[in-house]
Structure 1
Amino acid sequence: MIQLFALHSGYGLMAAAAALDSGLLGEAEQRILVPMNTASVPETAVDLAGSPRFAALRARFDRVEPLNALIDPLHPTAWKPDEQDLPMLERLFRRAWGLGGAQLELFVQSPQVAPARTLMALFHDAQLGVIGDGLMTYAPIRSRLPRRITERVGRVVHPDVVPGVEPLVFASTDAACVPVPPPAFAAVLQEVGEAEPDAALDALAGDPVPTGLVLGQYLAALGLVSAAEEQGMQVAMIDRAADAGVQRIVFKPHPSAAPGLTASLAARAGERGIGFAVYAGDQPAEHVAARLAATDVVAGFSTALPTVRALYGTRVHAVGTGTVLARLHPYQNSNRMPATIVDAMERSAPDLRGLVEAVGYAMQPEIMAHLRSRAVDVLGALPAAERERYVPAARLRALELPGAPAPTRMQRLMEPAGGIGRLEELRLTAAGAKRRAARVWKAASGR
């Protein structure tokens, strides 16, 4: 058995390394890392295949076979060959990577899209697994995959950063959830953080004052909020950290954030009488929080929030999640589950697992049909305001879930009756009556 790990993010690589360190993935003749750079402009992004920060993690594998170089000039996310070409490509890939006729187990991230979906189809008889990539793993898969793929998925490996909750990706199949213990993930995270000298972070960590870490997510780039609204959210994060009692704030901006944003946050911190510093390095946010011994971490719906709480017991605060939940469109938007989890954690939801399953069903009712009764029970027990925070009224009504509002007169008219809307039925009835009247007139007039 040869295990292939087709990974595109640092979080996924750390999850895979921690799973290997914990002995969760069994024995293999060889383990081959297939790193891929899926950024829109690969030249501007951290490359798992060459970044010194991930050198120690790459050393856990017998070989490294980068995907980008093999399929160049195609971008990995655009690599969608014709189905008839897959047998030929499998032979070529097996030869290029020295796989021979060995049985394979292929681990991927983001299985619903290329290049992961392409690789799962290409290696047509490989056992399949999923490596979790943060909170997205807790959402159901976005589109129904062919049975020739889903029946081969054996396990979903994920850092156990939301205790008591299992990922929903492939939950409708027989795939087993394999949680990676937080201590193992924390050890790998520290290893990555300490792989290269970081004078800027060391200097910030040398100040022992109670520190809050504020993370930028650049939600305006997703079209969820305007630039002005996002700036208001980030200012609110400064206030949240100040209210928590920190004496200094370290801001880790999103790489795409405008410079003016940092200036406005510094000004707000000054108004609150709190020290302010910026860390713009490439360290994972979770390691920055640990290195600073941050007492509080504030963000939007970043995966870092449940991760630092699970790994280090750090207090975490979410800002703006209500706005994000209301703005996400369509309802099935894959950001909905991360926003739901972080929002529910902030509000101390008593049944987080139940809420995740209910929202998962509402997102993908056909794929998650087995969760309908669970969704009915969970949503039926929630107060109306809480229920509609996570599943709006229109969605409740569309899926006939508890709390759905009664249909308006116009909605009743538009509802199907016999396969067509009632207004269309009335129109057809009127048209038929008009034709019958015309025939009667012709007969009566002798025309």
Structure 2
Amino acid sequence: MSGTTQIFFSATQYAAATVTAAIRAGFFGPRTAHRRILVVSNTAAVPEVGTPLDRMPGFEKLRPEFDEVRSWNEFISPFHPAGWSPRAQDASLWEKAVRLAWNLGDEDVEIACESIQANPSRAVADIFADSPVHVYADGLMSYGPTRNRIPHNLNSRIARVLHLDLIPGLRPMLLSEYGVEPQPIPNEAIVDVLAQIGEEGASILADKLPAEDRPTAVMLGQYLSAIDLITQDEEEQLHVRMLRAAAKAGHQDILFKPHPSAPAVYSTSLEQAADQLGVRLTVLREPVLAETVFAYLRPQLVIGCFSTALMTAAAFYDIPVARVGTGLLLERITPYENSNRIPLTVIDAILPDAEKDKVGQPLELGRLAEELAPLVRAVGYCMQALKHHAMRDEVTAWLAVHLDAYPQYFKKRRLTSLRLPGGSPVRAESLRRNPTVRRVVRRIRAAQA
């Protein structure tokens, strides 16, 4: 890696914090040996109305690790970074354009990016077609299988998957079918970075929240309706259910933190529910990381649906966590290959249900991986069976014994199509009607005639 230019692509502050932690942990070599460029992008539906990553509170704590900061949105304007990629025949021209615009000359380039399955990461990897690629994952999706096929000319260049060790001992499946090895980022490195960039956010919280009677419970919003998992009304009701669960657990001061990528749609349903319950609700609309909220408030409970922040609260800050609404999402989420299925499965399997169970105790993370690993591998196999055919015997044996205990994570139609335990038997009549089977039978009969 000596003497290369390292280009780091980040779409969120949390992603930038993750890759900065990896840099400080020594995963990208000594600071003096490389030129480092951070390229920020905003993949929100309307990026013009959002706050760019490099203008968010706390970014100045990350800035010293990089020689330059560039904007991908500005470079490819007027295209949207989530929807644009170069045509194959134009990739080399775009590489020349990037090298010229960023003064790269003929230097060797390394790429570090988030999800390699989607833009802008895929676009950048296509542009720098000869460069090694380091994939870093900041959430629970790293424990699931690769969503889309990665062509050989790209998967052969992926050096490793850097990931947060949110569930110690649980091995990520991401890119494993291509022989890419995972490498966990030390928890102390990411917590230290989050503490630094959270200093300004803590000041925002100090100004917004009263010195006494600060919230003791935190509710985490996501953007489930924006990605069509549930409707907007259902998502609003999901937040109301979180509020009621927090009140039921004895909390009178509650903070709601919407997801930064969620649409800014105002609804009074949450405020009305708070009035009815007699609790004080604070809605945090300022751009403050959830982890800053955890570190500053040290709440007694964090409630969410299947947000990765639930696990960072548990793994990094030892805060009790609980879930709401995962049952509905397990019924609704489609297709079965949806990458959100693994985060949803993990959270549903290991966190208490805030509406039914006793909450308020920290998770014993060290004991989770052994029980969780076979379930995650079975769900992952069912999601992408063609990519993980070597796992079939293992998954078949596990389902034969454990399916009755975990029926909510598997669809009968999927088990049937894969000929796995729990699926329906294939009827002879269905086979006779199958066009492919009929063609094969005709060929056999013709050969025997």
Provide TM-score, normalisation by structure 1.
0.86
Change (3 A) 1:68 1:226: closer
Q: Indicate which of 255, 259, 277 corresponds to 2:267.
A: 259
Deviations 1:287-311 (A, max 9, x none): 1122111011001111110111000
Change (3 A) 1:51 1:6: same
Contact kept in structure 1, 2:6 and 2:36, CA below 8 Å: yes
Q: Indicate which of 380, 383, 388 corresponds to 1:360.
A: 380
Deviations 1:400-424 (A, max 9, x none): 12222334x5xx42336886256x9
The within-5 A match list for 1:306-385 is 306-346=311-351, 351-385=371-405
Tell me how far 1:382 sits from its aligned partner. 1.4
Indicate the residue corresponding to 1:191 in structure 2: 196
Amino acid at match of 2:106: G
Q: Percent identity?
A: 37
Structure 2 Cα separation of the partners of residues 146 and 180 of structure 1: 27
Change (3 A) 1:212 1:93: same
Structure 1 Cα separation of the partners of residues 257 and 57 of structure 2: 21
Indicate the residue corresponding to 2:110 in structure 1: 105
Tell me how far 1:19 sits from its aligned partner. 1.0
Matched residue pairs, number? 421
Change (3 A) 1:107 1:394: same
Indicate the residue corresponding to 2:122 in structure 1: 117
Q: Indicate which of 424, 427, 431 corresponds to 1:415.
A: 431
Indicate the residue corresponding to 2:21 in structure 1: 18
Q: Please tell me whether residue 396 in structure 1 is matched to residue 449 in structure 2.
A: no
Change (3 A) 1:50 1:250: closer
Q: Indicate which of 263, 274, 290 corresponds to 2:295.
A: 290
Amino acid at match of 1:175: V
Structure 2 Cα separation of the partners of residues 238 and 157 of structure 1: 35
Q: Secondary structure at the match of 2:209?
A: helix
Contact kept in structure 2, 1:219 and 1:230, CA below 8 Å: yes
Deviations 1:12-55 (A, max 9, x none): 10101111121122234211111112222111223123334312
Of 189-198 and 106-115, the range deviating more from structure 2: 189-198
Amino acid at match of 2:273: L
Structure 2 Cα separation of the partners of residues 200 and 285 of structure 1: 11
Contact kept in structure 2, 1:240 and 1:317, CA below 8 Å: no
Contact kept in structure 2, 1:128 and 1:152, CA below 8 Å: yes
Question: What are structure 1's unaligned runs of at least 5 residues?
Answer: 429-447
Q: Secondary structure at the match of 1:162?
A: coil
Q: Secondary structure at the match of 2:82?
A: helix
Amino acid at match of 1:55: E
Contact kept in structure 2, 1:220 and 1:230, CA below 8 Å: yes
Change (3 A) 1:120 1:199: closer
Structure 1 Cα separation of the partners of residues 331 and 231 of structure 2: 14
Structure 1 Cα separation of the partners of residues 298 and 90 of structure 2: 53
Change (3 A) 1:238 1:149: same
Structure 2 Cα separation of the partners of residues 106 and 85 of structure 1: 19
Amino acid at match of 2:143: Y
Indicate the residue corresponding to 1:96 in structure 2: 101
Amino acid at match of 2:189: A
Tell me how far 1:85 sits from its aligned partner. 1.4
Structure 2 Cα separation of the partners of residues 97 and 369 of structure 1: 43
Amino acid at match of 2:415: L
Structure 1 Cα separation of the partners of residues 13 and 409 of structure 2: 30
Q: Indicate which of 172, 177, 182 corresponds to 2:182.
A: 177
Structure 2 Cα separation of the partners of residues 198 and 421 of structure 1: 68
Contact kept in structure 2, 1:11 and 1:134, CA below 8 Å: no
Question: What are structure 2's unaligned runs of at least 5 residues?
Answer: 353-362, 443-449
